[in-house]
Amino acid sequence: MFSGTKSHYLAEKICQQLNCELGNLSITKFSDGEFEVCFEESIRGVDAFLVQSTFPNADNLMELLLMIDAAKRASARTINAVVPYFGWARQDRKSKPRVSIAAKLVADMLGVAGITRLITMDLHADQEQGFFNVPVDHLFASSVILPYIQSLNLENLVIATPDVGGSKRASTYSKYLNCPLVLCNKTRKKANEVATMDIIGEVDNADVVLIDDIVDTAGTITKAADLMKKNGARSVRAFASHGLMSGPANERVEASAIEEMVFTDSIPYDNKCSKVKQISIAALLAQTIQCVENNESISKQYLC
């Protein structure tokens, strides 16, 4: 098990779960921003698991690519990229003329670099698994989020999604928890800026739980929470797989009707917002890695 710079905290937790030591890897940085990756121990013939989320900036992705290349050149038997948060995934199609499809480009780069397997969680779009020509183990944060929601024992639980695009995910949660589903229909002026939003469903006197995959600037999810409260919701909580929390996100969440914002530790967070709580996915990843190493099915990892 080896880790890039920004996912070291998570790799250490995974190693604790697996009762193994984190491998020795050095990253030497040059004054111009370039860096060199070097394995400080022999990995010839081993199954290497490289832990690194590829969230911005691009150095995280570049670190992972160099780790993969170094492992390939050091004769590792298999190279398994453990990418809890697969960045650049929001660009998964041509939504307008003359734009890049970054998710496909990153998938190609990882493949060319030499991965033999990808372990990731809650891709922005499920079909992005098809961008890879190697096996993809696609995990879901619901495995750790659903038990937490159940532990809250909310009296009048309603699952909601801040946009129609997340309706499939939210519907899965509502079916598992046997509770109503509410949708928000939004329009955007531009990226990260919501123009209008309407509620489809009933939230009066409800304990609303908003479900999303990514919280970036938190504009959509806080606007949805405030709208739920305005329409009579008793309480509003928000859950997301990946908490980017960039720009004004912390201030927006703090000032919103959200009582609690919960996301996983797929991305490091420095706790700038008192309402934010993180749930660890270390055990989920460790169990998946164990299954991969022992050639066992990972189906038991899915609650729904």
Active site residues: 186
State how far the Cα of 11 lies from the Cα of 279, in Å rounded to an integer.
Answer: 15
State how far the Cα of 165 lies from the Cα of 198, in Å rounded to an integer.
Answer: 14
- Token match 């801040």: residue? 162
Strands annotated E in 144-293: 157-161, 181-190, 193-200, 207-215, 235-243, 260-264, 276-279
State how far the Cα of 162 lies from the Cα of 185, in Å rounded to an integer.
Answer: 7
**Integer angstrom CA distances of residue 205 from 70, 155, 208, 220:** 56, 10, 9, 22
State how far the Cα of 242 lies from the Cα of 228, in Å rounded to an integer.
Answer: 22
State how far the Cα of 304 lies from the Cα of 302, in Å rounded to an integer.
Answer: 5
**Integer angstrom CA distances of residue 304 from 2, 123, 136, 146, 168:** 30, 16, 18, 9, 12
Amino acid at 116: T
Which is it for strands 193-200 and 181-190: parallel, antiparallel or unpaired? antiparallel
Contact 49, 68 (CB under 8 A): no
Which is it for strands 235-243 and 207-215: parallel, antiparallel or unpaired? parallel
DSSP 215: E
Residues whose CB is less than 8 angstroms from the CB of residue 124 and which lie 6 or more positions away in sequence, other chains included: 86, 89, 90, 92, 103, 213, 214
